[in-house]
Structure formats: structure tokens, C-alpha cells
Amino acid sequence: MEGIKSAFARAKRESRPALVTYTTAGYPTIASTSQTLLAMEAGGADIIELGTPFTDPIADGPTIQSANTISLQNGTTTRDCLQIVRDARKEGLRAPVLLMGYYNPLLAYGEEKMLQDAKEAGVNGFIMVDLPPEEAVRFRGHCTNYGLSYVPLIAPATSEKRMKLLCSIADSFIYVVSRMGVTGATGALSSGLPDLLEKVHKFSKGVPAAVGFGVSTREHFVEVGNVAEGVVIGSQIINTLKNAPEGEGPKAVEEYCYSITQRRNAKVSVNGHANGHANGETNGTNGHSNGETSGSNGTAVNGHAISTDANPKGDGSGWINKSNGEAPKEISAEDPTEKPASESDPSNGVVHVDAVVKEPSGPNIVDQLENLNTDEPDPELMPQRFGQFGGQYVPESLMDCLSELEKGFDSARNDPKFWEEFRSFYPYMSRPSSLHKSDRLTDYVRQNCPKGKGANIYLKREDLNHTGSHKINNAMGQVLLARRLGKTAIIAETGAGQHGVATATVCARFGMKCTIYMGAEDVRRQALNVFRIKLLGASVVAVEAGTRTLRDAVNEAMRSWVTLLSDTHYIIGSAIGPHPFPTIVRTFQSVIGQETKEQMKELTGRLPDAVVACVGGGSNAVGMFSPFADDPSVRLLGVEAGGDGVDTARHSATLTGGKPGVLHGVRTYILQNAEGQITDTHSVSAGLDYPGVGPELSGWKDSERAKFIAATDAEAFIGFKLLSELEGIIPALETAHAVFGAVELAKTMEKHENIVINLSGRGDKDVQSVAEELPVIGPKIGWDLRF
């Protein structure tokens, strides 16, 4: 922490901004990263951010995401990141180093262990891109105990309430993330940035602010440095490494940094001893404090006996003497190594910033503690949780939009006129959906279970809704909400394509621009739905990144939303994502369970004994389960995608085989490895291969209110075959998982008991997939459709 403060203090004395540089650990190789850190310092960097790679970075642009991908392909782990810092320190690195990344890898490593190991490795602090304020307060306290800094982020959209909180916990500097940067070739500042910095300085009580937003030139650096104490540069350094000849990346980075700062910090001597900064200030780890360093013979020589590019003889002969002793009024272009360390010159230091980071606004610590003890907590301070799950683990740039969405949603759901409008579209949506007994499926169960067993099976026919699934419920509700908020465009993600079709449908109905993001693999598997979406007038964006499935579509949709917040609403299709999305989706989908309650009472005079739904992200499950959550007599069974089996690496059974973590803005159960990286998923069903799940379902798992099992691909095909042949209903492959699970459950229940399956979608979209998979799966289950 003290090293970071010293770096900013030094820059201030030299009347210049501090340069904060970023690179991704393990890019382009693990072995070269420590040399890149040394090169950044040699080129004038004051503080270094070392990015810890993550598989699903929702806040990063394509350049840094690509670096993350290559780093992970190289096998970079959290331990490697720490070792890179150790290696750089051994080679003489003096600049403070901050680990910058996402919370889940740190959570998987263990907070306490991370703080201990980071301190030992020579790390000075942390920047967590997606840590919400309520947890940032706690984490910052732990960092302080170890003498480490926690650097909060602020964005232009950060409210004053959040900004006050974030500024109050800043101990070394504040990272301001801004899209209000410099414009044009002249490097002129937009009008918004000075105003934003003035606001930050008002609440920071003297703590410096560093701005990052894509600075790439000397002109930009100087211009931003006039209003901020620091400037952050990252993407351009990654590009420099990418474009450099093999083995020359660090050298290219040094020259690039020098082109920005017009100054150099002293390098490591040829015998491996570190020489320190020109003015002798260090990060508090291993440097001298009096400005003297050891020369090649190990003796102190007034801080200027080290050989550098500008001082090849080590005797100061390359330095240029100033004609007056006054500090320059503006940032100088002089090389800092051209002046003896014993003659402090305020023009010698420059801080390089890559992106503008804003502090999340919020209440101060006292306000937050008071909020914890009030009967009606402020939702902005304590977003809704389901036990330990939920929250808002997102970049600060999204917080204002989430706050606007939450307020708009709360206003809508408490307005009878909104629900009157929603219900007015029931004929368009084909609601209420029917519910009837599945006689032949029930008979099949009774023929294959012990005498006296075999529950009655009922089907809630969401497959008969307009567009062929339950997705229309949420799509209609959210588009009405978006119109209420004044939004004119819609973006969405889709896996199996049903949510994409439903969203495109309601956008066509209301004349709204619509863009659907879909993983390239899902585009291939669901070509029919892609064509349906395009027929409805929407655009489809295929995502080639990562696994090319639903998780990658979510990543790209969220990134796109950040740039389009002013006029665009993101209709998340499942009960996932940051608060309030899980609550919004559950609210609109709960019509399923509400109708089921009423219809079962009419048909049987009582509540069902069990309800069953498939589980991917969880929208149809939470929609069916939530109205029964307070009815303990009703068993809740969720059936996940077991793929090749939960004992293999090829499945998507998050609640069965995952563990708590953070993904796509929410703490929930996720599929991850020991490093906290999201693992690849597999399911024969495109709609169930998501590595996370809705936080409310995670809460029900932990409280044991609901039970979750996994059905393999082969078992899903059994469910698909049974419903098709016995009831004349071709179900979606997602639903087929629930059919199999319900059949197995019914075999254990009494004849007088009743089960309802949420038949969430029809299977037209999956016929081709079934035909492709039958040659492999068919022989396993005795199903031969050759003709």
C-alpha cells in the first residue's frame, strides 16, 4: 500500500501524472511476463497492474479477452501469477504491483490464503472488477490487515451514494473507468471527464484518481494527466506485445511506454542487482530509501552509477542540466534518466493509464452498517439475496443501469395497470396454458413399478404457448418493462433459440429493434430457430469465442449492453445474471406455477404432490417452483443435463456437480475447476449447457427446499421417446430431461399422488439434433428409427 502512495507522491512532486500500466499474466507466455513488468517500469511506468486471467470476463474488450484466452491456453494459474511477481522482484522490479481481475478465481483460491501469498510474493494490492460495494468493504478490511491496498472502481454512471462509499474505502488511489475520454487526433478531452473527476475529488479527500479508457498516445496521456493524478494504459500494451517480433515483446513495451512518458526508470544492472528508481523511492519491498543503490562493485555511488540507455557510462555524462531550478509548470518530455537522482526534478515522472475506472457510488461505511440493521434496507446497498446467493458482481459501468432497471421494475410490479396491460396480451401469448393428465404415460409408469406405486402424471403445456415455449412469458413482460423505461432497442442471448424467437416475436409486435446473440455451435444446432428469428426481423450475432455456446452469448450480450445503455434493454432469458434480473425473470415466469395451482385444485381439489421441471439457467423451473415454495407438502424436483454422466467431464449438471462461485454478475452454483475458471459444458440439449444456474434455485438447494438430479443424454432421449410415442407430444430436448426425471419419481410415489411436469417447450427445433444423435444414443436405449 505504501509503495503505491509513494509512487503517486513522487509523480506529484515532479508535477506529472503517474503512469499505471496493465498486462495479462501469462501473455504471450508465462515465462516472458516478468520481463514485460520490468520493461514497463524501465519505460517510465510508476505502477503496474497484472491481470489474472478469467474465462468469462464480461468487462473486458476483445483485446484483453483475447489475451486472457491465450494465457489460459498456456496453462496460467493463480499460483503462476504470484510467481511472476516473485520472479520480477528477484530481477529488480521496484514498481508497486496490483493484481487485477475477477472475483471468482480469488474466491476459489481462498481469500485469506491469497492475501498471505500475495504479500509474500511482493504484491501491493488488488483491483477486483466485479466486487460489489457491500463485499468490497469487507475485502478491503482484510487487505488493510495485511498492509495491502484495495483499489475501488468508479464509472460515469456511479451515483453519489455509491461514489461516497467507494471513495471512503480507497486507501491508495481510485480507479475511474470512463467512456468519456479523449476525442479526435488532437487528444481533446470530452466535457464529461473533467466534471467526473471533479466529483470524484470532492469525495476522495485527497486520495489520487487514475483514469483508464483506452489512452494510447502521448497527447492523450498529457491531456488526461491535466485532470487526473494517474493515467491507465492496458489494451495498447497488449497490442504492442501481440505485434512485436517473437522474443522482442518486452523491449517493444519499454519503447512504447517511453513514447508515452518521455522518461525512463533505471534498469537492472548487468550483474542482476536492482538499482531502484532515480529518486530512490521503492515499493517498500526490497529497495533503498535514501536514493543510493549498489553499483557493479556493490558500493553506493549517489544513486547514479548504474548504466542505463541514457547513462551508458554510469557517470552521469548523459544527463542534461537545467538552466533554472524551478519545477516546470507542465509535463516535460525529458527522459528522467537524463538527470541525476540527487537533483529531484518534478518533470521526471509520468503515470500511464489504460482505462478510466469509476468508483461505484454508495453510502459510506457508517451508512452501510446502519443499513444492515434497518427493517427496510436500501436495495441499492443490499441487493436481494437468496441465502448466500445473488447480488451484483458486475463492472461499475453497469451499476447505474441495474439501479434504473430495479426501480423501474419495482414501480411496474406494484402498479395494477402494468399487470392489466400484461394480461391484455394473454390471447396473443395463448395463456392460460392448458393442464391435463397424461394417461398413457401414467399407465406406462404403473406397468414398470411395484404394485400400489405409480403417481398420476399431469402436463402443464407451456409448449402450446405462442412461439412454442415458456419463454414468451418473460419476453413479453420485459419488453413492456423496457417500453415503460423509454428504451427503444432490445438485445438478448439465446442457447436453444427459444428465447431468441420469443424476444424477436415481441419486438416485432411492438416495432422495436432487436439483436440476438447466439453461440456459433448453437447456431449450427438450432438453424431452424435462427431462421425464425431472422424471419421476425431481428438480427442474429454468432459468437465464435470460447465454447461457442450459451455462456459465450451471455458474455457478448452483456458487453454490448454496456455500450448501449442509454436506449437499449437487455432481456436476459433465464433466471441468471445480477440482481434484479433473477427476480424479474422469476416474477414473469411464475405465471406457470400460479396457473398450475389453480388448475390442479379445479381438477383434483388439492395441490399436486410434486412438480418437476428441467434446469439449465432455471427460468422454467423457478417459474413453476416459486408459487409452491411456501407449500411444504409439494415436492420440487429439478432435472439437470447429465450429458455423458456427472462422473465425467461432459455434463451441465451445475447444482449436482458444481460449487458456489461468481459468474455473469451473480454468486451461485457454477461448474468450475480448482482455479475458479469456468469449465466447458456438454448436453445434447442446446438450452441446458449453461455452466451456472439461477441464484434462487441455488438457495433452494442449500435449504433443501428443492431436490436436483441429473439425467444423461441417453435418459433424456428415453423421455423424448416416451412422450412422443405414448402421448403424441414431441417435447423439446430440455423438457425431455424433466419427463425422464418425473417418470422415475412417479415410480416411487403412491397411486393416489399427483405429479405435474412443466412441459416447457415443443421439440420441432430438436428433430434434426435427435436424428444426428440417434446413431450413437439409439443403440444404448434400444431405439432404432432406420427405415
Active-site residue set: 49, 60
Q: What is the distance between the alpha carbons of residues 240 and 783, in angstroms, rounded to a whole number?
A: 57
Q: What is the distance between the alpha carbons of residues 777 and 780, in angstroms, rounded to a whole number?
A: 5
- Strand residue runs (E) in 402-507: 435-437, 456-461, 489-494
Cα 356–chain centre separation: 18
Per DSSP, what are the bridge partners of residue 711? 641
Q: What is the distance between the alpha carbons of residues 52 and 80, in angstroms, rounded to a whole number?
A: 9
Helices (H), 609-732: 619-625, 654-657, 695-703, 713-727
Q: What is the distance between the alpha carbons of residues 528 and 369, in angstroms, rounded to a whole number?
A: 53
Radius of gyration of the chain (CA): 29
Report DSSP state, residue 238: H
User: Is 501 in a helix, a strand, or coil?
Assistant: helix
* Burial group, residue 281, by CB count within 10 angstroms (0-12, 13-18, 19+): buried
Per DSSP, what are the bridge partners of residue 542? 518
Per DSSP, what are the bridge partners of residue 461? 759
DSSP string for 696-744 = HHHHHHHHTSEEEEEEEHHHHHHHHHHHHHHHS--B-HHHHHHHHHHHH
- The answer to whether the CB of 324 falls within 8 A of the CB of 317 is no
Cα 85–chain centre separation: 25
Report DSSP state, residue 45: -
Q: What is the distance between the alpha carbons of residues 579 and 717, in angstroms, rounded to a whole number?
A: 35
Q: Which residue has the cell 419419481?
A: 745
What does residue 82 show for φ and ψ, rounded to 5 degrees? -70, -40
Q: What is the distance between the alpha carbons of residues 581 and 406, in angstroms, rounded to a whole number?
A: 9
The C-alpha cell at 783 is 431405439
Q: Kindly state the helix (H) or strand (E) to which residue 19 belongs, with its residue range.
A: strand 18-24
Question: Treating both helix axes as pointing N-terminal to C-terminal, what angle do 713-727 and 767-781 enclose, rounded to 10 degrees?
Answer: 100
Q: Kindly state the helix (H) or strand (E) to which residue 481 belongs, with its residue range.
A: helix 471-484
Per DSSP, what are the bridge partners of residue 175? 153, 210
The C-alpha cell at 603 is 381438477
- The answer to whether the CB of 19 falls within 8 A of the CB of 44 is yes
Q: Kindly state the helix (H) or strand (E) to which residue 756 belongs, with its residue range.
A: strand 754-759
- The answer to whether the CB of 133 falls within 8 A of the CB of 86 is no
DSSP string for 361-420 = P---HHHHHHHHTSSS--TTTS--EETTEE---S-GGGHHHHHHHHHHHHHHHT-HHHHH
Please report how many Cα atoms fall inside a 13 Å half-sphere around the Cα of residue 716, on the Cβ side: 34
Residue type present at position 415 = D
Q: Residue 730: which region, alpha, beta or left (left: phi > 0; alpha: psi -120 to 50)?
A: beta
CA distances to 18, 219, 231, 371 from 260, in Å:
11, 8, 11, 45
Q: What is the distance between the alpha carbons of residues 601 and 597, in angstroms, rounded to a whole number?
A: 6
CB atoms within 10 A of CB 565: 18
Q: What is the distance between the alpha carbons of residues 11 and 348, in angstroms, rounded to a whole number?
A: 8
Q: Which residue has the cell 439501479?
A: 403
- The answer to whether the CB of 282 falls within 8 A of the CB of 3 is yes
